[in-house]
Amino acid sequence: MYDYTDFDEAFVRSRVAQFTDQVERRLDGSLTEDEFRPLRLMNGLYLQLHAYMLRVAIPYGTINPRQMRQLAYIADTWDKGYGHFTTRQNIQFNWPKLPDVPAILQALADVGMHAIQTSGNCVRNVTADHFAGAAADEIEDPRPYAELLRQWSTDHPEFQFLPRKFKIAITGSPHDRAVTAAHDIGLRMTRNMGGDAGFEVFVGGGLGRTPMIGHLVRDFLPIEDLLPYVESVLSVYNTLGRRDNKYKARIKITVHETGRDEIARMIEARFAEVRPLFGGADQALLADIRAAFAQPDLQSRSVADYDSAYSSNPVFRAWADTNLSAHRKGDHAIVTISVKAHGQTPGDATSDQMRVIADLSQTYGYSELRISHEQNVILPHVHKADLPAVHAALAKVGLATANVGLLSDMIACPGMDYCALATARSIPVAQEIALHFEALKLEHDIGALKIKISGCINACGHHHVGHIGILGLDRAGVENYQITLGGDATQTAAIGEKTGPGFAYDEIVPAIERILRAYLGLRLHAEETFLDAYRRLGMEPFKLALYGSDGASDAA
């Protein structure tokens, strides 16, 4: 993976020194909160419901064992012994104290990490396919491009005060695991007729209060045009984006109001101006970055140990069936470590768990790790013969839950248990759904299912693109949960449709059960997934299951 150059190191250290001074001046009264707030947000520090929260970037979800151990150390030293992996491939610490934050940032800098641009109206952490560099279906590893974008966008003077935040996602595979359609810019690698790799460019996707699927503005962008083109998109948005209304300031609204064709034309016009200014330094840099992402030297040996464990150990087999994905090298596998044990908080890992993950990565995983936007941790390269040992080690620390891609592998934002913006809780809803269906032993029967829960309209929990989406709202001072069905986060992206009136906190789990029992009764066969069944049947049978024959129309 990419290691900091002297330049990166100096930049991050100077930022830590700067912020250390700013914290001191806030604590001695030289800075008011109004003056300090934008400065702390630039360094990822929020004030939440019960405490400060520090959001640390994990660029494109890639992290090494040393960094993971340092996160564990930070959790133990300055927090409450755990961290929360987010849908933006970041990690959040929920309990730092303001005077300790400079020391935390120093500890992060010691391992080449930071919290810069994890907040504010700038280009945020660039996210990528969490199977990057390992997936069997990959055209190219997207991370060198993500790293190029990270370096270009960090402290970019033109884009520090955009109309609103800006999120870029990139995938190197035709199977979109990076939700590119729901980002301000989504980049999907593709090949042209001549076999050259390049990008399909989508602009104007986003979730939040006005969910939209991105529009294709370029069907083939050559690799060498990536930076000038992305800069052109940002430039058009920076000029055109609305600054009069925070809720209409994202590029999705700009695209919606301007029209896809006109935006595409403006981007191309700007690109014609910008392109000649790029003299090739970016391509030289890209070549260096590519070298840093050289593939590990994958070993070849017998998979007999895997085969024998698979046939003799049913617990291992269940885990292998759900938590492994196809690696580009046949005798290896991609391991998804489920950070979703039934009843636990989705995405929360204890410091002990982090250390075990780091050790496993080092011993069996070529020292590579990824964090997924689905709040799990990935060991991207594990030889199959080592999988029984990996599974056994994970089981000792509660990380061997065999549920990846199933009902309890839910995304849940922190919700009103932590977040100052939330309108309802998310985490206990996720916990109760997981425990309820675990007790019913229905999860494996239901099969592939994405439930995604957000505790407010800002949609950090991606509820719009969940097969079943749950949105927590405050209705007249009471928590109320709205359900959407049919969302899809992949290359066939779709925004879910509202079922009708919402449900009270104690009604939401039974409501989800009614939907899923209806699905089990209606599916053509066990291989027809919930999403497929919904697409075949439409909303009506599920509405009927939820509200009864006349409930929906009465309550609407």
Partner 1 sequence: MSRRFIPKVVTANRLREGDVVYLTADDQWTLHHHQAELIEDEAHAQLRLLHAAGQKLVVVGAYLADAKAGPNGPEPVHFREAFRTRGPSNYAHGKQVDLTHV
Candidates 14, 38, 77, 97: give the one binding partner 1 (CB under 8 A). 97
Min dist. Cβ of residue 423 to partner 1 (A):
8
**Nearer CB in complex with partner 1: 65/455:** 455
**Nearer CB in complex with partner 1: 22/258:** 22
Q: Where are the beta strands (DSSP E) in 338-418?
A: 348-350, 369-371, 377-383, 411-412
Q: Does 51 bind partner 1 (CB under 8 A)?
A: yes
The stretch among 29-37, 218-226, 315-323, 435-443 that binds partner 1 (CB under 8 A) is 29-37
What are the φ and ψ backbone dihedral angles of 86, each rounded to 5 degrees? -105, 175
Residue 244, token pair as written in the block: 């009069």
In angstroms, the CA 348 to CA 353 distance is 10
In angstroms, the CA 126 to CA 149 distance is 7
Q: How far apart, in Å, do the first and last CA atoms of the chain sit?
A: 53
Comparing C-alpha atoms, which of 178, 180, 183, 234 is closest to residue 207? 183
Q: Does 474 bind partner 1 (CB under 8 A)?
A: yes
Q: Does 427 bind partner 1 (CB under 8 A)?
A: yes
Candidates 98, 240, 395, 520: give the one binding partner 1 (CB under 8 A). 98
In angstroms, the CA 28 to CA 99 distance is 11
In angstroms, the CA 287 to CA 54 distance is 33
CA angle, corner 208, sides to 206 and 209, nearest 5? 120
333: left (phi over 0), alpha (psi -120 to 50) or beta: beta
Q: Does 243 bind partner 1 (CB under 8 A)?
A: no
Number of chain positions touching partner 1 (CB under 8 A): 30
Q: Does 425 bind partner 1 (CB under 8 A)?
A: yes
Q: Does 48 bind partner 1 (CB under 8 A)?
A: yes
Map residues 451-470 to x or -, x wherever contact with partner 1 holds by CB under 8 A.
Answer: --------------------
Q: Are 454 and 460 in contact (CB under 8 A)?
A: yes
Q: Does 38 bind partner 1 (CB under 8 A)?
A: no
The stretch among 9-17, 277-285, 327-335, 411-419 that binds partner 1 (CB under 8 A) is 411-419
Q: Does 542 bind partner 1 (CB under 8 A)?
A: no
**Nearer CB in complex with partner 1: 416/470:** 416
**Nearer CB in complex with partner 1: 26/164:** 26
The stretch among 161-169, 254-262, 326-334, 422-430 that binds partner 1 (CB under 8 A) is 422-430
- Give Cα 522 distance to the centre of its chain: 32
Please, how many CA atoms are within 13 Å of residue 327, restricted to the half-sphere of its CB?
A: 21
DSSP 229-283: HHHHHHHHHHHHS-SS-GGG-SHHHHHHHH-HHHHHHHHHHHHHHHGGG--SHHH
**Nearer CB in complex with partner 1: 80/514:** 80
Q: Which of residues 320-379 bind partner 1 (CB under 8 A)?
A: 345, 348
Candidates 2, 11, 85, 95: give the one binding partner 1 (CB under 8 A). 95
Q: Does 244 bind partner 1 (CB under 8 A)?
A: no
Q: Does 416 bind partner 1 (CB under 8 A)?
A: yes
Interface residues with partner 1 (CB under 8 A)?
A: 26-27, 29, 32-33, 47-52, 80, 94-95, 97-99, 345, 348, 416-418, 425, 427-428, 431, 474, 477-479
